Structure 1
Amino acid sequence: MIPERADQQVNGRQRGQAGGRPPSFDREAYKKRNTVERYNNRLKQWRGTATRYEKTAATYLAGLHIAGIFLRSAC
């Protein structure tokens, strides 16, 4: 998903069939992946989920939902 550097693409072409991964890049898939990763990073910064004080999975999941609501309304 991450684009290859230009020097790596040149080196891969010079080596022919044994040149490593193909230099394809899907811009739309990368944008979607970036959006999800940025949202997850913001969610991790929320103190309730970062420290995980909750004892049960149900209360932890409820905290994630609340954090998600706060983050979505802040956007």
Structure 2
Amino acid sequence: MVKIYLDINFHEERILSTLSKHVKIYLDINFYEERILSTLVKVKIYLDINFYEERILSTLAKVNRLLLLIKNCSAA
């Protein structure tokens, strides 16, 4: 199992339970509201990704490429 750690700052809570993208990752989520998860927890979440969060899109694309690379290397 590969653990991926992302520190994502949301301007507001944008987590939906119905979305086509299912991303299972380890997250340290910092909200601008007073809720801060300081410990990394294993969660399966659904991100509502808007063009407003271009950096998140870019990060997830890199993560997907990394996972694919690791999967191909481990299969060899």
**TM-score w.r.t. length of structure 1:** 0.34
Structure richer in helix, relative to its length? 1
**TM-score w.r.t. length of structure 2:** 0.34
Larger radius of gyration: 1
